[in-house]
Structures are given as C-alpha cells and as structure tokens.
Structure 1
C-alpha cells in the first residue's frame, strides 16, 4: 500500500518525537534514584498550586507537583470548583479554542472528512490526537509560565527583599534567610531541623525503613516513598544514598494555616547516589562520586509538634 506524502510526514514526526523522548526518560530514571526519585511530590497546604518564590539557592522556578493528593478545588484554595483542563480557571479562551479543535475533528471524522479534511481512517485519527496533544501541551506551557511569573512577581512586591545570610548550621554553608520577610518567623533551631531531616530521610530511604520514614515525613510523602521502594524491589534493585551534605540553603517562604505551620526552603546538597542489584551487589546506576542536587523542600508542623517533610519539588 502506498502512503501519501502527508502520512509519511506524520510518521516521521512520531519517530523524531520518540527518538527525543526515550533518551530523556532513560536519563531521568537513571539519574534521579534518591528519595523522591526526581519527582515533584507532596503538598504545600493552600499554596500547593502556587509556585514558591525564587531564592539565591534556587534562582529558577520550582516544578509543579506531579504527585499530590491536593485538589485544585479543595477548601482553602481560591479556585472555583469544576474539573478538567477545559474548565480550568483563567483558561476560558484557550480552553475554548482547544475544545473547538476537538469538536471540529470529531465532526470531521463523523462526516468522513478527517480532522481538517485531508486524512482519512487511521491516519486521520492519529493526526487528530497528535494535534490535540500539541495544542494542550502548548496551552499548559503558556499557562504555567504565566502563573509562575504572576506568583513570583506578587511574592516580591512587598517589603523585606533584602537577603540576610546566616551560617554555622552544621555542615556546609547553612541556611540564609531568603528573599521574603515571612509572617511565620523561622528560628535557627528550625534550620537545624531542616538540615537534620534532609540527612535522616535520605538514610531511612537508603535503609528502606518505612517505619522510620513515618516519623520524618507526612503520610502523603511516606506513601510516595514507600511506593518507590516497592518498585525498586520489583526491579530487584536497592538505591543507596550516603554522605549527604548540605552546601547551601535559604528560606523561600513560611506561613501559618490555622494550627499548622509551613516552611518552604531551597536546598543545594551533595550525596552519593547509587543503585545496586539486590542479589549480586553489582552497580546498576549512579556511582561512588558525589553529585550535587538542588531541590525545594516544604516542611509542615502542627502547632507544638515537630517538623515533617510534606513536599519535594525539582528546580529548573
């Protein structure tokens, strides 16, 4: 069967996309085996869907959570109810355009004309799905960029923009005070706890000690970490992290919600991150050489209790 020129072009696009995507996926999977797995997981209370302000430690942006139990329409979040991408707040025009493309494509297929009248059968369906995926991707990119820019600008609009560095909190350079003047005051002892939790969580992860993780992290974060450990067991490997050292850290923001305190801090740290085969002890991924990581961690503390990890976000 002879393929049309347009169909051949379509398959070339698919081949190029797969060629670019597969190495990226493999790189992420092999490079990010530490606690959290290189994902952005957890919650930040009512600020879960607001990007934390940039800091000197993490001057870029923090990735949105791709694993979270918080819903955009949850009480306390200023987001109207109504689910789905096309009903998301602030996306009326763009969502309407995407929905219009989708409707036009379905009608075209029903009347035998394909998505734009040029393709038929399988190629038409595949072309429609690819174009819809491209439209949704571009709209999401645009809206995420706008949201991050808006939130970051708002965070820096008030007073307290001067950065006062503090040092001496254990290893490395310690934590600075960040860019904001937070409504919740974070004390030196709190920074010491954040640094301690960084090391203890990585150690409990390395030991696959879920019971210990329950004393260091929120139930939501423990559920993600336990799931990742289970996947490692299914693969027959174990991830070992060691020599964790905080190099630099500063406060992005701290706030209070009812009887619960939240603190989001940027941390640059080094660690040895390697994955070995359970049976033979053979090195599968990583190395003995330490690597540097920059992540944004959020800690939660019920009033009168201890800090626990509630979220990890990757940075760009």
Structure 2
C-alpha cells in the first residue's frame, strides 16, 4: 500500500512538473517571451488604464532601467524638492561664507579685513567692514531669491491636473468593423502633458507591431535596434542569444492586428509616450535548429494574443517600442 501511494505521489509530482515546464516553455515564445518589461517614463510602475481591448489591469513591469521614484525624462527638480534660500549648496556659498565669517569675526575681535591699522583708522575700518557686509548680504539674498523664483513657478505649474481626451478613431479599412484602434473614455492622467494621437500615429503603431515581430523571426538585431529603444533592443538581444545557446529558433509569422485601443498618451520633457492595447493573431512555434522539430506551439494554426505596448518618440525621430506588458 505504501509503495502504491508513493507511486501515485510520484506520478502527480511528475505531471505537475511537466505542466510547469510547459508553462515556462510558453514564456519563451514571441518577442519578449510573454513578459512585462521596458520603460514608460514616470509611469513605468503605474498601471495604464484598462481599455476595451485589454479590460484587465496590465501586469507590472518586471524588468526596467527606470528605478521607482526616479525623475521622468527631462524633468528637473523644483524648489520644493531641493534646499532653498541663502544656505543652498552651490558655487560661491563656501567662498562667501568664508569672507563674511572672516569679516564678522574680525569685527568682534577688533581686527578684520583691514586688521593692523590702529586708532581712528581701526574704527573707520570697522564701519567700512559692516557696510561692506551689509551690501554683500543684501546682494546675495537678492541673487539667490531670483534663482529660486523660476523653480517655484515650475513647481506650481507641475501641480495642475489634466484630463485625457477621448482620442482615436478607426484606422483606414479597419474602422466600423470592430477592428483597428478606437477611442476610450476620458480618464484622469498622472504626471505628464496629454498629447493628441492621430491616424498617422496609429498606422505607425500597427506597422511596428509587424516590423518588430518580423525582425524577431529573422533574428535581425540591427532591425530590432531600429524599431525599439536601446533598452528593449538589449532585452531582445539577450533572449535571441539564449535561444541560440539552447539551439532553438522562435518563428513568428502572419502577424495581423485585430483590435487596438489607446490607453494613454503624454509628453515628458521632449519625449512623447503612447501606451496602446493590441489584440492580434500570430502563427508562433519554437523549433529545434538542428532537427527542425517543433518544440512548442503550432506552426500552422494562428493564435490570438493581447498585449499592451508603449511607444516612445524623441524629437526628430520616429516612434519606437519602449515597453511590453501582458494582461494581469
């Protein structure tokens, strides 16, 4: 009886291990391996709003060069986040403090800037020192106050709230059929200025969906660097190297966008960001390089996938893939 129970337990553990292995293997397929990684500026660790295409909350970012609490791209510290006033660290503070200290101590002990003079000259020298200290202090206070004024104004402007506009509309040939990119309901937006996303932007997002998958299928790291941010290109490069080391090739074919929704779009500094939920069909299978044997997936049957992609656009550049998230 004990042997029978042990045997059953072993079969259960083996089956569980097999299921786990299959689950881990599935995470290796497609660009990004079904994970959530990359950067979304100051919103990297904030979940994007749910959309019709992706009604569930997006999975948290697991890998990112952005650290929690790190200022967003192009964001500068304001007067509320750094010491202000006369004693703020900076060029000239130590020198000015040394001069004032020397003068005041000299006045207290009967000598100073003009120490060594005697009689009436010492008294006149003391008065001159006090007058000099007064004007120097007044000049320093006015100078530091004028430097703090722009920072205080910037802090007040950054506290203004914004509402996300209802953006979007069907893309050419896809609108009206329940496919393509559509708009969403206005929602409060966190830090960042909302931006408008037009038909050309939606076309660029759809094209990048196909281009990134095609470059992944061809294992072309040069093209991946062209279509993605340096951070995303480094992640993809690591995964391609891992597949090569394991003797595997992840094939991705027939990528077709079925539906897409804009979750949010904003500007940080000089960079634009847009997070888009996309549901697409794809033929995806993992092959063994040497034998051509299918290790995972189906090389003929399409599957539907829903992912949340964030794109970034720098001045004078085109949109690039900046992050991928799965549905939670």
* TM bucket normalised to smaller: 0.5 to 0.7
Aligned to 2:221: 210
- Structure 1 residues 295 and 235: CA distance shift in structure 2, 3 A: same
Closer/same/farther in 2, CA of residues 259 and 274 from structure 1, 3 Å limit: same
Q: CA deviation at 1:277?
A: 1.0
Partner residue of 2:248 out of 234, 237, 243: 237
Q: State the structure with more CA Rg.
A: 2
Which segment drifts farther, 65-74 or 266-275? 65-74
Which residue in 1 is equivalent to 2:233? 222
Shift of 1:301: 0.2
Q: What value does the CA root-mean-square deviation take over the aligned residues?
A: 2.9
**Partner Cα separation in structure 2 for residue 257 and residue 158 of structure 1:** 14
Offset of 1:208 from its aligned partner?
0.4
Whole-angstrom distance in 2 between the partners of 1:22 and 1:300: 39
| Separation of aligned partners in 1, 2:265 and 2:296 | 36
CA deviation vs aligned residue, 1:7-51 (integer Å, no higher than 9, x gap): xxxxx9xxx999767724532422650001001010100100100
2:310 is aligned, of 276, 298, 302, to 298
| Cα separation, partners in 2 of 1:234 and 1:55, compared to 1, 3 Å | same
1:58/1:39 CA distance change after superposition, 3 Å: same
Cα distance change, pair 160–69 in 1 and its aligned pair in 2 (3 A)? closer
Superposition pairs of residues 1-316 of structure 1, within 5 angstroms: 23-24=19-20, 26-30=22-26, 32-76=28-72, 165-168=169-172, 173-180=179-186, 183-287=194-298, 288-316=300-328
Q: Alpha-carbon deviations, 1:192-215, whole Å to 9, x = none?
A: 000000000000000000011010
TM-score normalized by the length of structure 1: 0.65
Deviations 1:38-71 (A, max 9, x none): 0101010010010000000000010001111111
CA-CA distance at 1:170 after TM superposition: 6.2
CA contact (8 A) 1:299 1:309 kept: yes
Given that 2:196 and 2:265 are in contact with CA atoms closer than 8 Å, whether structure 1 keeps it comes out as yes
Q: Within 1, Cα distance between the matches of 2:315 and 2:165?
A: 28
Distance in 1 between residues matched to 2:238 and 2:32, nearest whole Å? 10
Q: Name stretches of at least 5 consecutive residues in structure 2 with no aligned partner.
A: 1-8, 76-160
- Give the number of aligned pairs: 225
Q: Given that residues 268 and 292 in structure 1 are in contact (C-alpha distance below 8 angstroms), is that contact kept between their aligned partners in structure 2?
A: yes
Query: In the TM superposition, what whole-angstrom CA distance separates every residue of 1:87-111 from its partner, at most 9, and x where no partner exists?
Result: xxxxxxxxxxxxxxxxxxxxxxxxx
